[in-house]
């Protein structure tokens, strides 16, 4: 019986074809394929007067987005503790302090009222996460940000392709970051991007992503290096290469198929698990959600038993997340009331979810979970 992994990227012959083509070009670094990937991201999100800067990871996207937003030493940035540590590390990379906020019981997104309690004179930005692809209370976040003049840098890492009332996440508002890491809905093996509102901020991001070098785009998008350039700011090596972008291009061409197949699996799971009073299924019908993971909530005292039961059936599970305020490096970070986070992190269990997941895998997961509670 095959083991069912939590994640399984969909890598077809089309990926290999795109990769071989990119290798053939003779320019492996950032170039025309990076630009093509950025253009395809913009098209897919339906961007109007918004601009995409591709990066080598989602974490570096957050980092340069924060720097471009002017975040630095002495500033504070609010984000949920119920989040991947990439956000907290990105904030600290800028020299600012991360302030951890609680989440809501329903969509497990930031609790805007509690975030409001954490705002002070040093607060400069807020990073809401759309957990598992489910939109958080973005309208509430934007209102809070407007009241206190905060930048909003959305962590859209789990939500590439999710929409709110028909509008794709990333297509409006302030700044939004995405990840194309190995397990995301689409992957460029590692990769990410920042979406911003102005050409000036795009230019700043382009400088930050490549050592502060001016002309990183105009020349490098032509698959060649500029020998005359100026260095205009601080900068990192955070650019996305043609090779990685070629994989991203092959994947984004199939994103509708990937999302539809994942939505079908999530609907099947929720339909089967909703019958059990002990279980809490994700707070969505998945129609507008591009599901990155399927996160079920299980009574704390039954979670370990369920994990072992599923392991016996060769079904892997995951836990998203260990709350960041519990990690030793962040023990001294300012932190609000965490009553929901502290409860939820003992209940969440990530079940296998793949693009074009095998039907027999889906049914084995359904049987595995339901047989434990029956």
Ligand X SMILES: Cc1ncc(COP(=O)(O)O)c(C=O)c1O
Judged by the rule CB under 6 A, the positions of this chain that interact with ligand X are 57-59, 83-84, 86-87, 129, 155, 157-158, 179, 181, 192
Q: Which is nearer to ligand X, 129 or 247 (CB)?
A: 129
Q: Which is nearer to ligand X, 57 or 270 (CB)?
A: 57
Strands 123-126 and 97-101: unpaired
Q: Residue 70, by phi and psi: left (phi above 0), alpha (psi -120 to 50) or beta?
A: left
Least distance to ligand X from the beta carbon of 219, Å?
27
Coil vs helix vs strand at 10? coil
Least distance to ligand X from the beta carbon of 236, Å?
13
Least distance to ligand X from the beta carbon of 181, Å?
4
Q: Which is nearer to ligand X, 238 or 250 (CB)?
A: 238
Least distance to ligand X from the beta carbon of 330, Å?
15
297 Cβ contact list (under 8 Å, min separation 6): 279, 280, 281, 344, 347, 348, 349
**Residue 100: strand pairing partners:** 79, 335
Q: Which is nearer to ligand X, 31 or 191 (CB)?
A: 191
Contacts for 110-116: CB closer than 8 Å, 24+ residues apart: 110/78, 110/79, 110/80, 110/136, 110/137, 110/141, 111/340, 112/137, 112/140, 112/141, 112/143, 112/144, 114/336, 114/337, 115/78, 115/141, 115/144, 115/336, 116/144
Select the residue whose beta carbon is closest to ligand X and give its number: 58
Least distance to ligand X from the beta carbon of 182, Å?
8
CA distances from 212 to 14, 38, 176, 232, 234 (A): 35, 20, 22, 5, 5
Least distance to ligand X from the beta carbon of 128, Å?
11
Percent helix, strand, coil in the chain, to 5, is 40, 15, 45
Q: Which is nearer to ligand X, 20 or 329 (CB)?
A: 329
Least distance to ligand X from the beta carbon of 8, Å?
16
Could you give the CA distance from residue 158 to residue 135 in angstroms, rounded to a whole number? 10
Least distance to ligand X from the beta carbon of 58, Å?
3
Q: Which is nearer to ligand X, 51 or 178 (CB)?
A: 178
Q: Which is nearer to ligand X, 349 or 362 (CB)?
A: 349
Least distance to ligand X from the beta carbon of 111, Å?
17
Neighbours of 72 (CB within 10 A): 12
Coil vs helix vs strand at 181? coil
Q: Which is nearer to ligand X, 55 or 223 (CB)?
A: 55
Helices (H), the chain: 13-25, 32-45, 58-68, 85-93, 112-118, 138-148, 199-209, 242-252, 255-273, 300-312, 339-344, 359-373
Q: Residue 133, by phi and psi: left (phi above 0), alpha (psi -120 to 50) or beta?
A: left
Q: Which is nearer to ligand X, 354 or 364 (CB)?
A: 354
Could you give the CA distance from residue 278 to residue 317 in angstroms, rounded to a whole number? 18
Q: Which is nearer to ligand X, 83 or 284 (CB)?
A: 83
Least distance to ligand X from the beta carbon of 293, Å?
9
- Residue written as token pair 């591709």: 54
């Amino acid at each position: 019986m095959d083991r069912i992994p939590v994640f399984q990227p969909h890598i077809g012959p089309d990926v290999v074809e795109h990769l071989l083509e990119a290798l053939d070009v003779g320019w492996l670094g950032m170039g025309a394929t990076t630009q093509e990937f950025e253009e395809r991201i913009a098209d897919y999100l339906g961007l109007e007067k918004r601009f995409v800067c591709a990066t080598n990871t989602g974490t570096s996207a957050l980092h340069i987005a924060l720097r471009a937003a002017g975040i630095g030493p002495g500033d504070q940035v609010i984000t949920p503790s119920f989040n991947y540590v990439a956000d907290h590390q990105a904030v600290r990379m800028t020299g600012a302090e991360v302030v951890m906020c609680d989440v809501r019981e329903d969509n497990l997104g930031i609790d805007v009222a509690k975030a409001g309690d954490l705002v002070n004179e040093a607060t400069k930005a807020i990073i809401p996460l759309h957990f598992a692809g489910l939109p958080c209370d973005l309208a509430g976040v934007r209102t809070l940000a407007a009241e206190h003049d905060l930048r909003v840098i959305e962590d859209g890492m789990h939500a590439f392709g999710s929409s709110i009332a028909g509008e794709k996440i990333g297509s409006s508002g302030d700044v939004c970051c995405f990840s194309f890491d190995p397990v995301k809905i689409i992957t460029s093996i590692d990769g990410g991007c920042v979406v911003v509102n102005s050409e000036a901020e795009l230019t700043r991001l382009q400088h930050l992503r490549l050592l502060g070098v001016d002309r990183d785009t105009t020349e490098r998008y032509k698959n060649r290096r500029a020998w005359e350039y100026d260095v205009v700011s601080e900068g990192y090596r955070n650019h996305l290469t043609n090779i990685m972008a070629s994989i991203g291009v092959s994947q984004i061409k199939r994103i509708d198929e990937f999302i539809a197949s994942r939505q079908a699996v999530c609907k099947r799971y929720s339909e089967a698990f909703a019958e059990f009073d002990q279980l809490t299924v994700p707070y969505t019908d998945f129609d507008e959600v591009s599901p990155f993971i399927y996160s079920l909530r299980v009574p704390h005292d039954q979670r370990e038993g369920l994990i072992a039961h599923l392991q016996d059936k060769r079904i892997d599970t995951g836990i998203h997340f260990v709350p960041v305020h519990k990690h030793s490096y962040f023990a001294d970070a300012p932190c609000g009331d965490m009553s929901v986070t502290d409860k939820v992190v003992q209940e969440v269990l990530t079940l296998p979810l793949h693009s074009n997941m095998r039907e027999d895998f889906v049914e084995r997961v359904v049987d595995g979970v339901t047989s434990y509670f029956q």
